[in-house]
Amino acid sequence: MQTSGLAPGFAQANLVILPSEDAGEFLRFCELNPKPCPLLEVTEPGQVSLPRLAMNADLRTDLPMYRVWRSGQFTDEVTNISEIWQDNFVSVLIGCSFTFEEALIEAGIPVRHIELGCNVPMYRTNIDCKPAGRFHGPLVVSMRPLNPSDTSRAVQITSQFPDVHGAPIHIGTPEEIGITDLHSPDFGDAVPVAPGEQPVFWACGVTPQAALVAAKPEFAITHSPGCMFVSDLKDESLRRSPQL
């Protein structure tokens, strides 16, 4: 079950879980790439609750779907990770663009994948992230088609949410960032771009999954794309002065 449009008003987050020996290098990758990887919370090894995002949460059970990675390869998709949990696991919660969608809707800006009840389309780009040790790879983006008259307002609104990717990184001309076919996303579901609309691209928290492929840690767990952690934190608490 994808979580876009679920629990309106509450912030959502991407999840990456790594053994403590790999977590430091990954956190450096996040620090070097704050647009796709804005850090919301990092746990102590073995901790399953989140003092900032959701004290009563259990990260082993509270996401709709998890991906299990072994040596950089996606091997399993499961709904519960309790049986494979280890005491040295560090959980990294990264901001998600689903968080600012409620603000767009409240401003009268339609969000196509919510209208259609499907997942947001996500694409690998030709933009390289800054490397941190073994962790490197392409920037992944999410796409929402908008009328040009709505685009400037969408930029203004989402720029107020830097902890959940902020303003778009690219507008229109998908081929300039290496996307050759909007109808074939790498993750999520394709959505139509109507005549007169333009595709608008935001940095995406699936980017770390591309970095896992490159880094090849022995073991890792992530959310399944679009199946986010829904926190107790209100969206509005993440709104800041515009940062373009």
What kind of fold does domain 10-238 have according to CATH? PSTPO5379-like fold (3.30.2040)
pLDDT in tens, 13-36: 999 999 999 999 999 999 999 999
Structure confidence at residue 188 (pLDDT): 95
pLDDT in tens, 118-167: 999 999 999 999 999 999 999 999 999 999 999 999 999 999 999 999 99
pLDDT in tens, 49-90: 999 999 999 999 999 999 999 999 999 999 999 999 999 999
By three-state DSSP, how is residue 2 classified?
coil
Cα 61 to Cα 175: distance, rounded to the nearest angstrom: 39
* pLDDT band (50, 70, 90) for residue 242: low
Strand partners, 92: 16, 42
Sign (positive or negative) of CA dihedral 155, 158, 160, 161: negative
What percent of the chain has pLDDT above 90?
A: 95
> Strands, DSSP E only, in the chain?
10-19, 39-42, 66-70, 73-78, 89-95, 122-128, 138-146, 170-171, 198-203, 219-223, 229-234
For residue 225, is pLDDT > 50? yes
Structure confidence at residue 244 (pLDDT): 43
* pLDDT band (50, 70, 90) for residue 1: confident
In this structure, which amino acid lies at residue 192? P
Structure confidence at residue 243 (pLDDT): 44
Cα 120 to Cα 104: distance, rounded to the nearest angstrom: 15
Q: Quick one: average pLDDT of 205-224?
A: 96
For residue 46, is pLDDT > 90? yes
By three-state DSSP, how is residue 4 classified?
coil
What is the average pLDDT score of the chain? Answer: 95
**How many other CB atoms are there within 10 angstroms of residue 79's CB atom?**
12
Q: Where are the domains of the chain?
A: 10-238
